[in-house]
Amino acid sequence: MKIGITCYPTYGGSGVVATELGKALAKRGHQVHFISYALPSRLHSGFDTNIFYHEVEMSSYPLFEFPLYTPALASKMVEVTKFEKLDLLHVHYAIPHAISAFLAKQMMNGSSNVRTITTLHGTDITLVGLEPSFLSVMKFSIEQSDAVTAVSRFLKEKTATNYGIDKKIEVIPNFVDVKTFRRMPNSAFRKRIAPNGEKVIVHTSNFRTVKRVPDVIRVFKNILEKMSAKLVLVGDGPDRSNSELLCRELGIFQDVKFLGKQEDLVEILSAADLFLIPSQSESFGLSALEAMACEVPVISSSVGGLPELIVHGETGFIAEIGDVERMAKYAIDLLTNETKHAIFAKAGRERAVNNFNTDYIVDQYEKVYEQLLQPKNGVPLAQK
């Protein structure tokens, strides 16, 4: 198959999943064309004969106060579809990608049999799309997609409720490459971060308010009262400065390491004893899955798709949003009981391998593709 993939090229979960999906499809022999305004962050490593990148060129003109990305993306989709004879356009994150895909299909006016798939990832549905100015166009673009998937049951139900959509939405969860994300023994990173054998707690995010990074810091403060520990914060964003200030106010800054954006998460996670994700909203929790694959127990809030990923009392613990005291209690329980910690770590790895590994999830996407390309009236839809 020849598949066009559009995603945001940044470090966010939707871009990571879309890029890893494209790389996995390419390994299976499919031709994958990424269409975006910049090279996706996880496409920087190596050359692949089945992967192509098409940049959406943005031009500035004094009349336009804001960049016109939606029509520019649609035009590039048309160009790539026609010249590369794409079978599918798979867009990740509805705004504005699903809208551009609809426009592209209309612009081709039947000259191509390309099919469109929209994957919903979270804030496109639960936050951005609920803006009054977007509601109608969101509902329309989702309903006009030939197929729609969501990364969790929670997100599927939210979409149906928020937009009154009757269209079939298939749940295909996020995934992790368990061959890459696995615990590395004798992590050199751990020796640098915790030279005296301190416990290591990790959190990764985009440091937005919805991630509740201050809760991570307050949980850690409670842990410090019971044992020596280090907190590693990976990522960057609007709340980083306030988070650094909070660490200083609490007198724990010397035990907190702000690493900014990092590409090699495996070494960091291999040094971790615990992963914290106390988010206010989380459609799935890809960072938690990556931690589980590296045998790190997870403590999370009870929101969104997190309870679909984390098994309370087996792979980690779940608490109510903002319940710092309970999260700290769970953390101290695991960090002071080596046997229990080992059982949780092993269970998390097994759950990642058995339920969320790349091959298992990519099979599900391939099935959706194949169903869309089934012959109609005896005429194959897929380009040969």
| Higher pLDDT among residues 13 and 309, named by residue | 309
**In the chain, where does the domain assigned CATH 3.40.50.2000 lie?**
2-175+358-372, 188-355
Q: Give, in degrees to the nearest 5, the angle at Cα 208 between 96 and 8.
A: 30
User: pLDDT grade, residue 234 (50/70/90)?
Assistant: very high
Distance CA 196, CA 215 (A): 26
User: pLDDT grade, residue 71 (50/70/90)?
Assistant: very high
What percent of the chain shows pLDDT beyond 70?
A: 93
Contact by Cβ (8 Å): 104, 143: no
Could you please report the per-residue DSSP string of 340-362? HHHHHHHHHHHHHHHHSBHHHHH
**Rg for the chain, CA atoms, rounded:** 22
Report the pLDDT value the prediction gives residue 284, as an integer from 0 to 100.
93
131-181 pLDDT, tens digit per residue, is: 666 778 888 888 999 999 999 999 999 888 888 888 899 999 999 999 999
114 φ, ψ (degrees, to nearest 5): -55, 140
Report the sign of the C-alpha dihedral through residues 246, 248, 250, 254, in that order. Answer: positive
Distance CA 11, CA 9 (A): 7
Report the pLDDT value the prediction gives residue 40, as an integer from 0 to 100.
86
Nearest alpha-carbon partner for 14 in 157, 161, 162, 120: 120
8's tokens: 């945001």
28-56 pLDDT, tens digit per residue, is: 999 999 999 988 877 776 678 899 999 99
Q: Which one is the CATH code of 188-355: 3.90.190.10, 3.40.50.1820, 3.40.50.2000, 3.90.1150.10?
A: 3.40.50.2000
| Angle separating helix axes 213-224 and 324-335, nearest 10 degrees | 50
What are the CA-CA distances from residue 304 to residues 158, 278, 308 (Å)?
9, 11, 8
pLDDT at 376 over 70: no
End-to-end CA distance of the chain: 8
317's tokens: 């613990």
Report the pLDDT value the prediction gives residue 127, as an integer from 0 to 100.
61
User: pLDDT grade, residue 69 (50/70/90)?
Assistant: confident
Nearest alpha-carbon partner for 220 in 237, 238, 203: 203
Report the pLDDT value the prediction gives residue 131, as an integer from 0 to 100.
61
Nearest alpha-carbon partner for 299 in 333, 350, 260, 250: 333
Give the range among 27-36, 55-64, 326-335 with minimum mean pLDDT: 55-64
Nearest alpha-carbon partner for 151 in 13, 353, 42: 13
Q: What is the CATH number of domain 2-175+358-372?
A: 3.40.50.2000
Distance CA 58, CA 265 (A): 32
Distance CA 321, CA 193 (A): 29
> How many other C-beta atoms can be found within 10 angstroms of the C-beta atom of residue 208?
17
